[in-house]
Amino acid sequence: MPEKSITWPDSKAFWKDRRVIVTGGAGFLGSHLVEKLAERGAAEIIVPKIEDYNLVDIADITRLYDSALGKAYAKDAANLVVIHLAALAGGIGANRARPADFFYINLMMGVQLMHEAWKRGVGKFVAIGTICAYPKFTPLPFKEKNLWDGYPEETNAPYGLAKKMLLVQAQAYREQYGFNAIYPLPVNLYGPRDNFDPETSHVIPAMIRKCIEAQGRGDERIVLWGDGSPTREFLYVEDAAEGILLATERYNDSQPFNLGSGMEISIKDLAELIQRLTGYQGQIVWDTSKPNGQPRRALDVSRAEKLFGFRARMPFEEGLRRTIVWYRQRAAG
């Protein structure tokens, strides 16, 4: 017999009476997610700005919830959703330079935000995890059941473990209190509005910037870290935002779930693709004195499709083109 098709609830109906706190809502992923929330008709979207709230400080976390759940809304805490995107994140260099910061800031933000949400009866908490939580030598493709099979890759282990504790917390609070917290594991993201800072950016924006700046200067070569052999999987930022919102609407359980594209590419092939798409004619030189990071990353994305119907839509080359166009426009402006 053919499988019975699933009828999913209407997105706009889900968000109609819901107020949403999006930490990190002014950032890369957050800005796209906030736009999609507005399109879905969320009743109110609250984006705590870093200038107003230090989310490592319990006093500021308390003030945020007190503001969001003032007297007029206190009785409606069950209709408040918290999507916790805020994080201190960066590439290998940033993680190696500030391991204590990457551990403490990410741990304290998430643990306190979730605890205070439970205390106030918040209806749902979405704790965004990271692919860096997986063991260094996870069998491919990464399956959620392998999360605890070893220690993460050393260069970003403090970050990965801090974020992984939110999974422990979410599961413990669901078991003891019935608190509705879910834990997505997004793979490396890319797209317009990404962080192109040379000190803290991830691999795709770093390569795009290097190629475009070298092209502008007429440089004959660019230098990239490692030997190009590691593989990565990338998810376009708008696909990631859609996956998070679909999970928020449709999924209420303790199992973590991967959010990815299901496509693996080597860093060498990625560099050559970005070189072609930017039109840079120089040579790529690999600095093998620098670390490679985790040897391979590719996700099993079947759980997300099965549990709440998510599948990435953006073709990788098209997503890269859009990212390059956005960066060129920004650099020119």
pLDDT at residue number 73: 75
pLDDT-based confidence at residue 4 (cuts at 50, 70, 90): low
- For residue 211, how many other CB atoms are within 10 A of its CB? 24
Q: What digits encode the pLDDT tens for the residues 133-142?
A: 999 999 999 9
Residue 61, token pair as written in the block: 């976390």
Supply the Cα-derived Rg of the chain in whole angstroms: 20
User: What is residue 1's predicted lDDT score, i.e. its pLDDT?
Assistant: 44
Domain boundaries, the chain: 12-193+233-264+295-314
Average pLDDT over residues 49-69: 97
- B/e letters for 292-304, b = 16+ CB within 10 Å, e = fewer, are bbbebbbbbbebb
β-pair partners for 20: 45, 81
> Burial code of 96-110, b = ≥16 C-beta within 10 A, e = fewer?
eebbeebbebbbbbb
Any idea what the Cα angle at residue 318 is, between residues 276 and 279, rounded to 5°?
20
Residue 7 pLDDT:
79
State which H helix or E strand residue 278 sits in.
Answer: helix 267-278
pLDDT value for 2: 45
65 is catalytic: no
Give yes or no for a contact between 20 and 44, defined as CB atoms under 8 angstroms apart.
Answer: yes
Please indicate, yes or no, whether the overall pTM of this predicted structure exceeds 0.75: yes
CA dist., res. 74 & res. 64, Å (int): 13
- Check the CA dihedral 322-325-328-329 and report its sign: negative
Beta bridge partners of 231: 266
The total of other beta-carbon atoms located within 10 Å of residue 38's CB is 11
Catalytically annotated residue among 53, 65, 134, 159: 159
Q: Please check the confidence at residue 191 and state whether its pLDDT lies above 60.
A: yes
Q: Residue 8 pLDDT > 90, yes or no?
A: no
Compute CA distances 174 → 167, 233, 296, whole Å.
11, 31, 32
Residue 33: pLDDT above 80? yes
E strand or H helix that includes residue 136: none
User: Where is 47: in which H helix or E strand?
Assistant: none
Mean pLDDT of the region 122-144: 95
CA dihedral 272, 273, 276, 277 (to 10 degrees): -150
Task: For domain 12-193+233-264+295-314, give the CATH superfamily.
Answer: NAD(P)-binding Rossmann-like Domain (3.40.50.720)
Average pLDDT over residues 315-331: 97
Instruction: Look over the chain and give the mean of its residue pLDDT values, rounded to a whole number.
Output: 94
Tell me what percent of the residues of the chain surpass a pLDDT of 70.
Answer: 98
Identify the pLDDT of residue 186.
95
What percentage of the chain exceeds 90 in pLDDT?
87
